[in-house]
Amino acid sequence: MEAYELWQKAVKAREFSYSPYSGFKVGAALLCKNGEVVQGCNVENSAYGPSNCAERTAFFAAVAKGQREFEAIAIAGGKEELVMCYPCGVCRQVMAEFCDPDNFHVICGMNKEKLEILTLRELLPKSFEMQD
Ligand SMILES: [Zn+2]
């Protein structure tokens, strides 16, 4: 799947964002190795702490469906206008749990002309992982 096509699915997922406190709506589209795309949005809470990012919503929904292998995730976020929206540190760590850092791609963008494709290793070098 082309990066822009996946990113458009993130833009679509953003419509479901529950963000009454920040007004910052984020959507994510996670491409699984078998071709399935699982979407997620940010879900805020009045107590702030229980809020969840779009990227983790997508990952947890995918894992709950039995997915364990992933190719890429696209992210689209902003208040009214889209801005470059990179995953937070917590979401990067969740990606590191399931994804090969050199082959998993994170697609961040504002529009078709401004799409940035990064590897997980670029976003999270020297990540924590359990050693056998
Ligand atoms: Zn996050």
* 132 within domain boundaries: no
C-alpha angle 18/19/21, rounded to 5°?
Answer: 140
* 73 within domain boundaries: yes
Q: How far is the CA of 88 from the centre of ligand 1 (A)?
A: 4
Q: Which of 5, 44, 55, 97 is catalytic?
A: 55
Active site residue 55: yes
Q: Measure the CA–CA gap between 73 and 107, rounded to whole angstroms.
A: 6
* 75 within domain boundaries: yes
For residue 43, list its beta bridge partners: 18, 52
* 128 within domain boundaries: no
Buried b (16+ CB within 10 A) or exposed e, 44-75: beeeeeeebbbbbbbbeebbeeebeebbbbbb
Domain CATH for 110: 3.40.140.10
Prediction pTM value? 0.96
Q: How far is the CA of 51 from the centre of ligand 1 (A)?
A: 10
Structural domain containing residue 87: 3-123
Strands 37-41 and 70-78, how do they pair? unpaired
Q: What is the mean pLDDT of the chain?
A: 96
Angle between helices 54-64 and 3-14 (to 10 degrees): 100
Number of domains comprising the chain: 1
Residue ranges with CB less than 5 Å from ion ligand 1: 53, 88, 91
**pLDDT tens digit sequence for 20-70:** 999 999 999 999 999 999 999 999 999 999 999 999 999 999 999 999 999
